Amino acid sequence: MSRVPALIVLTVALSCAVLAACAHMGEEGCGADRDCKLDRVCEAGHCVWPHGPAGAAGTGGPAAGAPAAPLPKYALEPAQAMFRLGAAHRGRSPYNLPVTRPEIAWVVTTGGPVVSSPAVADDGTVLFASHDGKLYAVARDGTTKWSYATGDIIFASPAVAHDGTVYIGSDDDHLYAVAPTGGKPRWIFQIGACPQRIGVGPEASRCDVDAGPTIGPDGVVYTGGDGIYAVNPDGTLRWRFATGGHVASAPAVLADGTVVAGSQDDLVYGIAPDGTKRWDFRTGGDVDAAPAVGDDGTIYVGSDDRKLYALNPDGTMRWAFTTGGDVRSAAAIGNGMIYVGSFDAQLYAVRLDGTLAWTFRSGDRIISSALVDAKGAILFGSQDDRLYCLEPDGHLRWSVELGGDVDSSPTLAADGTIFVGSDDRKLYALRAPSSPPP
């Protein structure tokens, strides 16, 4: 693990942003595998099907990292403004979804698809990112407060720390800590030492920072790249755990501090707070879905082998539930149920014992992770370009058609406003007509 001095990294990144010389993100073709839908990979600027499944063997093992400095344990309430609404990734909102079909209150149009899932800060500011490489901060009325340009496209979702610092990962292989005012970087941390940070081919995407980031209860920032990373709030490396494949899965944190993340080496890893491996669990495909942790510590995680797994906190399997397609979306946990979308276009409601309660069929693949509201209603997007709201029993409450795939996971503000991104380059704010303006 090479720790490049922050000043050098900052200079390089800012040069990229200013000159736009590092950006390869045209609407046609691709700049990295992550630009490509499904399992296609980016070769010579075009999305193509690989010749066979990438079955890289796991080479997991603790890697040399900085010694872990002691941090105050649970000194603060866990942060909530991040992907899946917390480090347990339950996707459970304390607020209520609109009872009637919401209307579009405003949109922010960016320069690329918005796959990133928005986060709402304490002051109501909406943070999200776009394939145009920028992190955006938008006020409650829809006006853009600031944006911050990274050096490549962004799939990741922002996470907001207690002091307002916004963390975002970019396919330029860096994790950024951006100040809440003015969008200036507090620090920039390079993930891995991939020889090609930006551009085409597997080497350019292996160190992409497209997982999370996740803020642990102690403020440590967890993300992925060519392994699983723990970064201290001051921007220094806490530890790195090497994996046998790219980590695109946002790490989740168990109550005892165990960090759980999946990898394209087909394994789910449980990593102790000191960065050493506690266990791993082998699935039959890439694990690009973020794990979610139930109230009893059960870990729910999907795999490209079409299954949703329930693992005990020690990494042993409790059950596996088979869907009809790849499971890339994170499971939502609420109302005594597990909700997960699949590439077979269905959202599954699975009981805690692994039996099926019901399914809802959308018109295309589901990558978007569902949100469960305070009363058990469910919200998710589909590649049929719709955002769906379901009653707790699985019946449709309403749906809204947007302008492109909805791979972004929607989030919900206290006033009932929904925020979600779409491949039509827009971030949407949706609000029921009866709701008062913010």
Q: x/- binding map, residues 338-377, to Ca ion, per CB under 5 A?
A: ----------------------------------------
Stretch that binds Ca ion, among 18-26, 101-109, 262-270, 394-402 (CB under 5 A): 262-270
Which of helix, strand or coil describes residue 70? coil
Query: Which of residues 226, 266, 288, 326 is near Ca ion by CB under 5 A?
Result: 266
Nearer to Ca ion, 258 or 264 (CB): 264
Distance CA 342, CA 327 (A): 5
Give the footprint of Ca ion on residues 49-78 (CB under 5 A).
Answer: 54
- What are the CA-CA distances from residue 259 to residues 73, 241, 249, 292, 293 (Å)? 15, 11, 12, 11, 11
Nearer to Ca ion, 266 or 326 (CB): 266
Nearer to Ca ion, 154 or 166 (CB): 154
Query: Which of residues 264, 283, 303, 417 is near Ca ion by CB under 5 A?
Result: 264
Torsion of CA 58, 32, 159, 147, to 10 degrees: 160
Stretch that binds Ca ion, among 34-42, 221-229, 259-267, 345-353 (CB under 5 A): 259-267
Could you tell me the smallest distance in angstroms from the CB atom of residue 235 to Ca ion?
19
Stretch that binds Ca ion, among 81-89, 102-110, 230-238, 384-392 (CB under 5 A): 384-392
Could you tell me the smallest distance in angstroms from the CB atom of residue 265 to Ca ion?
6
Nearer to Ca ion, 90 or 197 (CB): 197
Residues in contact with Ca ion, counted by CB under 5 A, come to a total of: 11
Amino acid code (one letter) for 256: D
Q: Residue 132, CB half-sphere, CA atoms under 13 Å: how many?
A: 20
Query: Which of residues 80, 303, 383, 417 is near Ca ion by CB under 5 A?
Result: 383
Distance CA 405, CA 113 (A): 9
If one counts every other C-beta atom within 10 angstroms of the C-beta of residue 334, the result is: 23
Stretch that binds Ca ion, among 34-42, 229-237, 263-271, 338-346 (CB under 5 A): 263-271
Query: Which of 223, 242, 221 has its CA nearest to residue 232?
Result: 221
Nearer to Ca ion, 60 or 313 (CB): 60
Q: Tokens representing 299?
A: 């870990």
Could you tell me the smallest distance in angstroms from the CB atom of residue 370 to Ca ion?
18
Q: Tokens representing 63?
A: 């890697």
Q: Tokens representing 6?
A: 């922050």
Nearer to Ca ion, 225 or 334 (CB): 225
Edge-first strand listing for the sheet containing 396-401: 371-372, 378-381, 386-390, 396-401
Distance CA 56, CA 70 (A): 35
Q: State the DSSP H helix or E strand holding residue 7, giving kind and residue range, or none if neither.
A: helix 6-19
Stretch that binds Ca ion, among 231-239, 252-260, 388-396, 400-408 (CB under 5 A): 400-408
Nearer to Ca ion, 35 or 208 (CB): 208
Which of helix, strand or coil describes residue 360? strand
Could you tell me the smallest distance in angstroms from the CB atom of residue 52 to Ca ion?
11
Query: Which of 387, 389, 388, 362 has its CA nearest to residue 375?
Result: 389
422 scored as a contact of Ca ion (CB under 5 A): no
Nearer to Ca ion, 226 or 286 (CB): 286
Query: Which of residues 218, 288, 385, 407 is near Ca ion by CB under 5 A?
Result: 385
Residue in the structure block whose two tokens are 């491949």: 423
Q: Which residues contact residue 98 at a Cβ distance below 8 angstroms, ignoring those fewer than 6 apart? A: 389, 398, 416, 418, 430, 431, 432, 435
Give the footprint of Ca ion on residues 175-234 (CB under 5 A).
Answer: 204, 208
Give the footprint of Ca ion on residues 286-315 (CB under 5 A).
Answer: 286
Amino acid code (one letter) for 153: I
Contact 416, 432 (CB under 8 A): yes
Could you tell me the smallest distance in angstroms from the CB atom of residue 96 to Ca ion?
28
Query: Which of residues 33, 35, 132, 173 is near Ca ion by CB under 5 A?
Result: 173
Nearer to Ca ion, 286 or 373 (CB): 286
Provide the pairing of β-strand 299-302 with 307-311. antiparallel
Contacting positions for Ca ion (CB under 5 A): 54, 171, 173, 204, 208, 264, 266, 286, 383, 385, 405
